[in-house]
Amino acid sequence: MDIDTQWQQIKKMWTSTCSEVLGKKKYQQKDWISADTLNKVQVRKEKKGAINNSRTRAAKATAQEEYTEANRAVKNSVKTDKANFIEDLAKEAEDASAQGNMKQLCDITRKLAGKYKRTDRPIKDKNDNVLTSDEDQLKRWREHFEELLNRPPPQNPPDITPAEEVLQINCERPSKAEIEKAIHHMKRGKA
């Protein structure tokens, strides 16, 4: 048995074991990309392969034109998918607002703003065991806040002396001149 066949056997053993144990890396698709767009992406990949495999300049030029057309189709399809997704989210936000569901409205607003991170990190109990079920996590949060907020009053309350002089604070409505002065001193672009 020569060294090349040994290497091929070792390589095959490693790759098969790794694919069984670890599996292949799964790429997370965006929720809003349609199946039609994914098909167009696949066609674009094939066109790119045709560019790389073409042997003559003429074949490469025609393959490049086909790829450019496929790339344009993918970009247009992605643009329409994203616009449809945003339109659907806006409708959901309007419905949530009409129903008075502020949690859903805030979640949708965060998604639309592009800074959406829903943190569902597992929490630990008092013994440092990870709680996986939602019910156990809610119970632990309840325990935490009951301990934090339901404390007995302090044994020795702080001795706060009264103020030496009473400050005269004007509580009347501000005049128009005061408002104009305050606005004038603000930085530009600040509300």
- Residues 90, 146 share a domain: no
Percentage of residues in the chain having pLDDT higher than 70: 93
Asked whether residue 69 is domain-assigned, the answer is yes
What confidence tens digit (pLDDT) does each residue in 62-108 have? Answer: 999 999 999 999 999 999 999 999 999 999 999 999 998 888 888 88
- Residues 146, 73 share a domain: no
Asked whether residue 143 is domain-assigned, the answer is yes
Domain count of the chain?
Answer: 2
- Global pTM reads 0.47
Q: What is the spatial distance between Cα 68 and Cα 72, in angstroms, rounded to a whole number?
A: 6
**Which domain covers residue 106, as residue numbers?**
30-118
Q: What is the spatial distance between Cα 1 and Cα 174, in angstroms, rounded to a whole number?
A: 96
- Residues 56, 83 share a domain: yes
- Residues 91, 65 share a domain: yes
Asked whether residue 98 is domain-assigned, the answer is yes
Asked whether residue 78 is domain-assigned, the answer is yes
- Residues 125, 87 share a domain: no
- Residues 90, 60 share a domain: yes
Asked whether residue 179 is domain-assigned, the answer is no
What confidence tens digit (pLDDT) does each residue in 35-73 have? Answer: 899 999 999 999 999 998 889 999 999 999 999 999 999
Where is average pLDDT lowest: 20-24, 54-58, 70-74, 129-133?
20-24
